[in-house]
Structure 1
């Protein structure tokens, strides 16, 4: 039995790293009082996201670039202690480029790191892209990480599920619609897409799904919040709605996976030989 108390955060973060750490520390303390084992903080929670996703984002200096083995990530690990914590940050790559990254830590150090692969709109003006999806082991179970737009591509979560991830964690800075925005975020069409992707990725891979997101506003962006935990059947176990908060669910991961896969096993019943597009072999 692998019973895990897991939580997803919706919260507001900005450029001031000290302010961000104050918020992170508060959220970790709140999660600890709830008995949380696995906590997902949003994309870019250390240093903030971009001011916008139009061409003028190049005018923004962007968040501070941090090394995965630097003092800031060690500070995050110290705050995590016995908890497994996932957080988003701007990574200073060994190649001199900057990456939009997610790191997974406990008090023992870094367990995993993911560089965002899929970049929406003008994000590539600020970040280089990653090129892999890999699962890894944690005290909470085998986890796969994604960042925001990554989850719009079924192959991302499928690659992680095939690598043995029983829990998918997607951290985001997902905004509301850029045009014809709804006055009520709960009715926003980009918010609806955010929720659909969360439920679909959990259901099609029959895995637990934790979705964290920024809340509030930053620059020209208004984030949809909507942090949640989804079970392997695509049902939402806990959610924050469009406001800031903590979505907490207590799950026996092994039982949830076994129950979902008992009759129809989506990973087991795959037919990879049938998925090659016509003409691809000769292209």
Structure 2
């Protein structure tokens, strides 16, 4: 059995504040016996402040993928596996104007070091000019089992978690900074279109691939954005095992990871029953 947790929490441009908050959340998770913890996208440095008119002024700080900030979280994590998102300074050649390449990035780590990384592949139209896309989905091994990472908009594309599942991931952590609707915000968050889609994607992607799914998300307000929270742990049948609502908190569930995945795939094994030759190019 392994205890898994996904966090809903608010993070800011203040890296010191963010590290203190990560330390607090990890401490609470450790007290709860958690072995794998998913934190939101932008857990170091926050997220954009405006998605209607995004530009350079609303961007979070760029961090080095092996910089002091990430090393600090390694020290905080200890024996726990911790996943979190940040804005990564790419080492690729920059654009002609000399601006650095920016990725929306995620890292999975423990006190032993880096276990896996991901760069967000699917960029919504509004922010696509501000970030470079990632180019792959790769699973990796952790003390809790083989897992993969996604970053919010990635989960709207079935191919993304399917690729991780085909690469052996039984646990997928999707790290989000997912706000309420920008165009038709509902009077109550539970009725918001984006809240419905956020939950729908979490449950559908877990069930499609028969994996355990950790969904972490920002909460609270940041600039013009009001984040949903709604962190959760979803089982391989699409059932919600634990969740938070709009406020910050930890969704914690204890699972026999190979056991529940094996049971879900015992009769209907979605990956084995695929017919790629029928799907076209």
Structure 1 length-normalised TM: 0.95
In the aligned structure 2, how far is the partner of 1:60 from the partner of 1:104? 28
Partner Cα separation in structure 2 for residue 237 and residue 60 of structure 1? 39
Once superposed, which parts of structure 1, at least 4 consecutive aligned residues long, lie more than 2 Å away?
A: none
Of 248, 253, 257, the residue aligned with 1:249 is: 253
Work out whether 1:151 is the aligned partner of 2:151.
Answer: no
Q: Which residue of 1 aligns with 2:227?
A: 223
Question: Which residue is 2:97 aligned to?
Answer: none
Aligned pair count reads: 274
Does 1:142 find its partner at 2:151? no
* TM superposition shift of 1:59: 4.3
**Distance in 1 separating the partners of 2:262 and 2:32:** 26
Counterpart Cα distance in 2 of 1:107 and 1:18: 19
Aligned position for 2:8: 10
Task: Report the CA distance between 1:194 and its aligned residue.
Answer: 0.3
The reply on whether 1:133 has 2:137 as its aligned counterpart is yes
CA distance 1:61–1:185, change in 2 (3 Å): closer
Counterpart residue number, 1:79: 76
Q: CA deviation at 1:54?
A: 2.1
- Contact 1:101/1:113 (8 A) holds in 2: yes
How far apart, CA to CA, are the structure 2 residues paired with 1:261 and 1:238?
Answer: 22
Which residue of structure 2 aligns with residue 112 of structure 1? 116
Deviations 1:235-262 (A, max 9, x none): 0000001221100000000110111000
Rounded to whole Å, the distance in 2 between the matches of 1:227 and 1:33 is: 19
Q: What's 2:66 paired with?
A: 69
- Per the alignment, residue 208 of structure 1 pairs with 212
- 1:140-193 deviations in whole A, cap 9, x for unaligned? 110110000000000000000000000011000001111221121111110000
For 1:44, the equivalent position in structure 2 comes to 42
Instruction: Please give the secondary structure, in 1, of the residue aligned with 2:199.
Output: helix
CA contact (8 A) 1:135 1:160 kept: yes
Give the equivalent residue in structure 2 for 1:259: 263
Aligned partners of 1:133 and 1:160 also within 8 Å: yes
Partner of 2:240 in structure 1? 236
User: 1:208-252 deviations in whole A, cap 9, x for unaligned?
Assistant: 000000000111111111100000000000000122110000000
What is the aligned partner in structure 2 of residue 30 from structure 1?
Answer: 28
Q: Secondary structure at the match of 1:60?
A: helix
Q: Is the CA contact (8 Å cut-off) linking 2:148 and 2:171 kept in structure 1? A: yes
* Gap regions ≥5 residues in structure 1: none
Cα distance in 2 for partners of 1:44, 1:257 equals 30
Distance between the aligned counterparts of 2:157 and 2:23, measured in 1? Answer: 32
Q: SS of the residue aligned with 1:170?
A: strand
Q: Secondary structure at the match of 2:255?
A: strand
**Contact 2:90/2:101 (8 A) holds in 1:** yes
**Structure 1, residues 54-83: CA drift from partner, whole Å, max 9, x if none?**
23x214152221111111111110000000
Secondary structure, aligned partner of 2:215: strand
> SS in structure 1 opposite 2:250?
strand
Q: CA 1:62/1:72 → structure 2, altered by over 3 Å: closer, same or farther?
A: same
8 Å Cα contact 1:54/1:121 also seen in 2:
no
Is there any run of 5+ residues in structure 2 with no aligned partner, and where? Answer: 93-99
For normalisation by structure 2, the TM-score amounts to 0.96
Once residues 86 and 239 of structure 1 are traced to their aligned partners in structure 2, the CA distance between those partners, rounded to angstroms, is 17
